[in-house]
């Protein structure tokens, strides 16, 4: 087992150096994030999140103009950029799942995005509209690379995606043509991935190099985890990092100093951003002012001198509030119950 610890320490040294620079919130608050992540998974045990999606005959033109109507409701100024998507060749719909996933891809030069591409894997229902809104928001606040912009990127896109879902449901669109539980189901998947290695990452961040003493430190200061369970997490994380290294072998060989960033972005940063982004979006949907979130979306890159706590506080989210997690799960419960009621699911 010591050999696994040694190899993990080598990986995590590079990864955490990158996380400290680009995702410091994860490094500084890994213990609170792990607890909230586990509570989220436990909460969802009482809900069925199975997909009920049906296809219809929406054309790409229908999708484009309905998403445009939602974008206009968010901020009319966005239409200047939105209306150029097709003209500039920045929007592409796949008819045969040509893309691994729907995404906004930005090409950067000197920290500025010189080109954005939005690729939508069509599902031939109103889910395409929701996805287009999500990815368009990415294209707006993804024009620069700033630490706070990166942290809030998924929150902002998911928040307006939830707005799009609410918009469509209120218009009387068949819920089975919207995939209204997609975001919760997707976040549950990301949270499940995070739960597989969160204690290993926590142990390395809090107590240093992994070794035979790591379990005793966790048991004394964090929770009573069994040695066998911790070792299993270590083996799983090592195997996933090794797969990531092999998958990106050519990139790493050309840029060996980027190994930490490449491996971190392979899944760790992704899992963490989606989970926290959904938590903040659900909270903001219930407790925050819509126009305040729009304003944040427009000025997120101008706030590099502020902390995550200060930015959240400015939009009505007090991360230090004693009842924050309680209010979060109230917002999650309300979202699930409201959507299921609209879908007439008991």
Stated pTM of the model: 0.91
The reported pLDDT for the residue numbered 316 is 96
Contact 303, 315 (CB under 8 A): no
The reported pLDDT for the residue numbered 345 is 47
- Where is pLDDT greater, at 330 or 49? 330
* 56-101 pLDDT, tens digit each: 778 888 999 999 999 999 999 999 999 988 888 888 777 655 445 6
The reported pLDDT for the residue numbered 98 is 47
Alpha-carbon distance of 230 to 67, in angstroms, equals 46
Query: Residue 115: what are its φ and ψ, rounded to 5°?
Result: -160, 135
Residue among 299, 313, 308 nearest 144 (CA): 299
Length of the chain in residues, anyone?
A: 346
- Two tokens at 300? 């997120």
- Two tokens at 333? 């419960």
pLDDT of 108 > 70? The answer is no
Burial class (CB in 10 A: 0-12, 13-18, 19+), 312: buried
The reported pLDDT for the residue numbered 99 is 47
pLDDT of 237 > 80? The answer is yes
* 291-335 pLDDT, tens digit each: 999 999 999 988 889 999 999 999 999 999 999 999 999 999 999
pLDDT of 36 > 70? The answer is yes
Q: What is the mean pLDDT of residues 132-157?
A: 87
- Please report the sign of the dihedral spanned by the C-alpha atoms of residue 134, residue 135, residue 137, residue 142: positive
Residue among 280, 285, 197, 175 nearest 244 (CA): 197
* 153-163 pLDDT, tens digit each: 999 999 999 99
């Amino acid at each position: 087992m010591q050999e696994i610890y040694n190899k993990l320490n080598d990986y995590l040294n590079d990864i955490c150096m990158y996380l400290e620079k680009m995702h410091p919130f994860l490094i500084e608050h890994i213990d609170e994030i792990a607890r909230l992540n586990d509570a989220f998974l436990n909460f969802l045990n009482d809900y069925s999140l199975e997909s009920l999606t049906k296809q219809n005959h929406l054309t790409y033109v229908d999708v484009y103009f309905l998403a445009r109507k939602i974008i206009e409701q968010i901020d009319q100024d966005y239409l200047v950029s939105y209306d150029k998507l097709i003209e500039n060749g920045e929007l592409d719909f796949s008819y045969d799942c040509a893309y691994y996933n729907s995404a906004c891809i930005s090409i950067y030069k000197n920290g500025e995005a010189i080109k954005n591409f939005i690729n939508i894997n069509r599902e031939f229902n109103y889910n395409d509209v929701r996805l287009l809104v999500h990815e368009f928001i990415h294209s707006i606040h993804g024009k620069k690379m700033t630490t706070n912009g990166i942290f809030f990127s998924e929150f902002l896109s998911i928040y307006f995606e939830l707005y799009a879902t609410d918009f469509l449901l209120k218009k009387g669109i068949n819920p089975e043509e919207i995939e209204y539980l997609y975001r919760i189901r997707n976040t549950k998947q990301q949270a499940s991935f995070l739960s597989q290695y969160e204690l290993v990452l926590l142990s390395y961040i809090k107590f240093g190099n992994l070794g035979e003493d790591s379990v005793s430190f966790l048991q004394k200061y964090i929770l009573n985890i069994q040695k066998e369970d911790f070792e299993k997490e270590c083996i799983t994380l090592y195997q996933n990092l090794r797969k990531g290294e092999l998958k990106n072998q050519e990139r790493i060989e050309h840029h060996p100093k980027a190994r930490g960033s490449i491996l971190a972005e392979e899944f760790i940063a992704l899992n963490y951003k989606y989970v926290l982004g959904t938590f903040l979006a659900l909270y903001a949907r219930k407790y925050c002012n819509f126009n305040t979130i729009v304003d944040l979306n427009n000025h997120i890159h101008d706030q590099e001198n502020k902390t995550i706590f200060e930015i959240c506080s400015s939009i009505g989210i007090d991360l230090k509030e004693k009842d924050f997690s309680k209010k979060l799960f109230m917002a999650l419960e309300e979202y699930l119950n409201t959507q299921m009621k609209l879908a007439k699911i008991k």
